[in-house]
Structure 1
Amino acid sequence: MNSQERLQALSAFLKARRAQISPDTVGLPAGIRRRTPGLRREEVAQLAGVSTTWYTWLEQGRDIQVSVSVLESISRALQLTMDERNYLFALALETGTSVPPLEDTSLRISPSLQKILKELKYCPTIISDRRCHIVGWNEAARRVFLNFDEIPAEGRNMIRLLFARQEFRRLAVNWEDFVSGFLAIFRAYYGKYVGDEWYNLFLAEMKEAHPDFSRLWEDSKVSSSPEVTLEFRHAKAGRMLFELTSLQVQGETDLRCSVYTPKLESTTELKLLQLMS
Structure 2
Amino acid sequence: MDDNPTLDLRAELSEFLRTRRARLQPQDVGLPSAGRHRRVPGLRREELAQLAGVSVAYYTRLEQGNGRNVSSEVLDAIARALQLTDAEHAHLVQLARPTQTRRKAPAPRRQQVRPALRHLLDSMEGVPAYIGGARSDILAWNRMAAALFGDWGKMPPAERNWARLTFLNPDYRELFRNWESKASDMVSYLRLYAGRNPEDPELSALVGELSVKSEQFRKLWATHDVKEKGHGVKRMRHPLVGELTLSYETLHLPDDDGQFLSVYHAEPGSDSAQALRLLASWGTDAIRAGSEAP
> Could you tell me the TM-score, scaled by structure 2's length?
0.84
In the TM superposition, 1:38-49 aligns within 5 A as 38-49=42-53
CA contact (8 A) 1:126 1:258 kept: yes
Q: Structure 2 residue aligned with 1:118, among 107, 122, 135?
A: 122
SS of the residue corresponding to residue 219 of structure 1 reads: coil
Contact 1:242 / 1:262 at 8 angstroms: preserved in 2?
yes
The code of the aligned residue for 1:134 comes to I
Aligned twin of 2:105: 99
Moved more, 47-56 or 117-126: 117-126
- Equivalent residue, structure 2, for 1:29: 32
Q: Following superposition of structure 1 onto structure 2, how do residues 36-75 of structure 1 map, counting pairs within 5 Å?
A: 36-62=40-66, 65-75=69-79
Which AA in structure 1 matches 2:152?
A: F
Higher relative contact order (CA 8 A, sep 6+): 2
Structure of higher CA gyration radius: 2
Distance change (3 Å), C-alpha of 1:4 and 1:239:
closer
The AA in structure 2 aligned to 1:101 is A
| Aligned residues with identical type, % of pairs | 34
How many pairs does the alignment contain? 275
Deviation readout 1:62-94 (Å, 9 max, x if unpaired): 465422221111111112222211111111111
Q: CA–CA distance in 1 between the matches of 2:223 and 2:266?
A: 27
Match of 2:23 in 1: 20
Give the direction of change, closer, same or farther, for the CA distance of 1:29–1:101 in structure 2 (3 Å limit): same
State the secondary structure of the residue aligned to 2:27. Answer: helix
| 123-132 or 5-14, which deviates more | 123-132
Contact 2:5 2:204 in 1 (8 A): no
Written as runs of structure 1 = structure 2, the 5 A alignment for 1:121-136 is: 121-136=125-140
Unaligned runs of 5+ in 2: 282-294
Instruction: Give RMSD over aligned pairs.
Output: 2.3
Deviation at 1:4, TM superposition (A): 7.4
TM, length-normalised to structure 1: 0.89
Q: Report the secondary structure of 2:222's partner residue.
A: helix
Q: 1:38 to 1:243 in 2, by over 3 A?
A: farther
> Which of these residues, 149, 155, 158, is aligned with residue 154 of structure 1?
158
* Corresponding residue number in structure 2 for 1:247: 251
The aligned counterpart of 2:285 is: none
Matches of 1:116 and 1:24, distance apart in 2 = 51
| Counterpart in the other structure of 1:188 | 192
